[in-house]
Amino acid sequence: MRKTEEATYIKSLMGYHVELLKSSRHGKGLFARTDIAKDTFIHVTHVHRDLIEYAGCENTWINLIPNHRYNHSEKHNNCKIVTEGLTKGLITISDVREGQELLVDYSEDKSLEQPEGFWEP
């Protein structure tokens, strides 16, 4: 792992509702292990660098691995990222079926990485 990656990622445990699998959208993604009801909190995805006083971190928000591995979709998003104090978490905005990929519209949270032109809407 490069030094830059060490400063922006922390290993964490995923919520029991999801698993990390190969995604047809991009690399790997989070997929539902079971049916998940709307408004279900999945897990924390990011922590603010001030929460853990993470020395050398250039980013404001630190990605939790693999928790932040959800993929982007403006048209098919079924989850959103919510900020509560110094953490961000993944919450469903619709019912999600077992095996379905969890998708977030990245453009709704300007403090995180934003979609690039070639990203699938």
Q: How many C-beta neighbours within 10 Å does residue 88 have?
A: 23
Query: For residue 55, what pLDDT band results from cuts at 50, 70 and 90?
Result: low
Query: Over 50: is that where the pLDDT of 6 sits?
Result: no
Percentage of the chain modeled with pLDDT above 70: 81
Q: Which residues contact 90 (CB under 8 A, 6 or more apart)?
A: 15, 30, 41, 42, 43, 45, 67, 70, 79, 80, 81, 102, 104
Closest CA to 33 of 23, 46, 19: 19
Q: Which residue has the higher pLDDT, 3 or 93?
A: 93
pLDDT per position as a tens digit, 11-41: 676 778 999 999 888 889 999 999 999 999 9
Domains (ranges, CATH) in the chain? Answer: 3-108 (2.170.270.10)
Residue with tokens 């961000």, as numbered in its chain:
88
Model's pTM, two decimal places? 0.81
